[in-house]
Chains A and B, each alone.
Chain A
Amino acid sequence: MSASRGRQLRALVRKDLQLEARTRETVTAMALFALVAMVVFQFAVGQRSDDATGVAGGIIWATIALAAVLGVGRTWVPEREQRVLHGVLVAPVPRLVMLIARVIVLWLFLLAIEVLIVPLGVVFFVHDASPEGLALVAGLCAVANLAIAVPGALLASMSVFSRARELVIPVLLLPALVPVVIAAAGGTHAVLGPEVQMAEFLGYCRFLAVCAAVFCLVAYATFDHVLDD
């Protein structure tokens, strides 16, 4: 990526982060929603014992996936509300740079809620989690976030030109996130259980990396056509 492309990317990421820092709308809503969803899941699962390690990974990642839908739904919303969407689209910035900027911002938003949700999930559901296991889950989050952020950014860009955008996003994104949730929950379970199962964990991480790579390739190949205006 050339120096000017790098500058454009930094400017776009800074714009979105500054907007979020001023309004604190998206991340706050995502974090609160994730917290509420986690509590609801706990009661819905119906497990009342102290140690719910067996379902902890599933609850944490189902919660993060639902919160991601909320964050993805907010993508492009400030531009639309301030009526500057067409201004952004006619700016001499390659579409690919716009996509990468959206992916980075979504990745950071997800990381921000995981800093809250994952430790809380461990406190709520897991007995005697090892620091090593928690560090491995942090690594897993980094890969899983990419596998969520890329399809999120691609599908959000299509939904912005659709009627009933808020309804379209969950219908489009959640089926695509099922493989990511399955692998991330499996990986979390592998290291938060009574013993760290490293081989199993690495297998799940590899699958998440494949998911992220496939979504990146599809987004790279098609994104120019999404914002072809």
Chain B
Amino acid sequence: MSLTTDTTRPAAPRHILALGVLSAVLMGLAVVGALGIAPEDADQGVVQRIFYFHVAVAIASMVAFGVGCVAGIVFLRRGTTLWDDIGVSSVEVGLVYSVLTIITGSIWAKGAWGVWWRWDDVRLVSFLLIILLYAAYFVLRGSAEPDRQARFGAVYAVFAFAAVPLSFYSVRIAQSFIHPVVFTSKGANMPGSMLVWFVVSLAGFLCLFATLVAVEVQQRRAQRALERLKRRFDHVH
């Protein structure tokens, strides 16, 4: 039997390729639109442009944690590995997005208020609490016995998502409310020429989230297949 080495890289599944291209196009459009085309805010000036990314990535992080929670519920009901993969990947991306929210918010605070951090900024503090809440997800998964990791991860994803609105509200009752409100109960607090680029940015971040989750799920599946092959190889030899 001759052993040959296949050096060609396997092609990515089509849905991942399509999602990746769509994410790249939307993110490119968002950058061009937010930094070049959208009108400048009369009050805040150029620093306001970071809101196209700051608010969009904040909303996308909440969507990611919501998907993580739903995936956790479905995993607890069905026990299929796919939903655990989706859950853990969603929480991973959600956590990265939350960190980006804090970083972009901090940059805005420096531009608007002259300081990197203010404890009376409700949203920054809320996202800090959410980062702490979801960072614990990985501590729990990493520390749990291997056959319980997925189950505990799913339970904690549900628990943490239920605690998110409590964290938001508790910070709101504890602090004064000085952060500019982009979205109110009456709708978006911005003109249409700005709103369109915000929506493109939001769509870009959501598409990127879907792409990253799809890649991570594929990677975890490949990892398991590789481990199975290794076990079979060890068994044969």
Contacts and interface: CB of A to CB of B under 8 A. Distances in A.
B170 A161 contact: no
A182 B173 contact: yes
Given A158-B155, A161-B144, A218-B159, A172 B170 contact: no
Given A158-B155, A225-B151, A175 B136 contact: yes
Contacts of A210: 166
B232 to A, nearest CB: 29
Contacts of A154: 155, 159
A119 interface: no
B162 A215 contact: yes
Contact of B133 (A176, A183, A214, A226): A176
Contact of A183 (B154, B155, B156, B170): B170
A3 interface: no
B155 A222 contact: yes
Interface string A160-198: 011111011001101110111011001000000000000
Contacts of B167: 175, 178-179
Contacts of A168: 139-140, 143
A207 B169 contact: yes
Contacts of A211: 166
A161 B133 CA distance: 20
A225 B170 contact: no
Interface string A196-218: 00000001100100110011011
A222 B76 CA distance: 8
A151 interface: yes
A221 interface: yes
A204 B133 CA distance: 22
B144 A222 contact: no
A50 interface: no
B179 to A, nearest CB: 17
B127 to A, nearest CB: 12
B174 interface: yes
B145 interface: yes
Contacts of B173: 182-183, 186, 203-204, 207
Contacts of A171: 135-136, 139
B155 A226 contact: yes
Contacts of B135: 171
A228 interface: yes
The CB with the most chain A CB atoms within 10 A, among B132, B152, B154, B158, is that of B152
A226 B139 contact: no
Nearest to B138: A171
A178 B170 contact: yes
Interface string A131-162: 00000000000000000000100110011011
B136 A161 contact: no
B171 A182 contact: yes
Contacts of A179: 163, 166-167, 169-170
A176 B159 contact: yes
B132 A175 contact: yes
A162 B144 contact: yes
Closest 4 pairs between A and B when the two form their complex, measured CB to CB: A179-B170, A175-B132, A162-B143, A175-B133
Given A179-B166, A182-B170, A222-B159, 10 more contacts: A158-B156, A163-B143, A174-B132, A175-B129, A178-B132, A179-B169, A183-B173, A215-B162, A225-B154, A226-B152
Interface of B: 76, 129, 132-133, 135-136, 139-140, 143-145, 148, 151-152, 154-156, 158-160, 162-163, 166-167, 169-171, 173-174
Interface of A: 151, 154-155, 158-159, 161-165, 167-168, 171-172, 174-176, 178-180, 182-183, 186, 203-204, 207, 210-211, 214-215, 217-218, 221-222, 225-226, 228
24 contacts: A154-B159, A158-B148, A161-B145, A165-B143, A168-B140, A168-B143, A171-B136, A171-B139, A172-B136, A172-B139, A172-B156, A174-B132, A176-B133, A176-B160, A176-B163, A178-B170, A179-B169, A182-B173, A186-B174, A215-B163, A222-B158, A225-B154, A225-B155, A226-B155
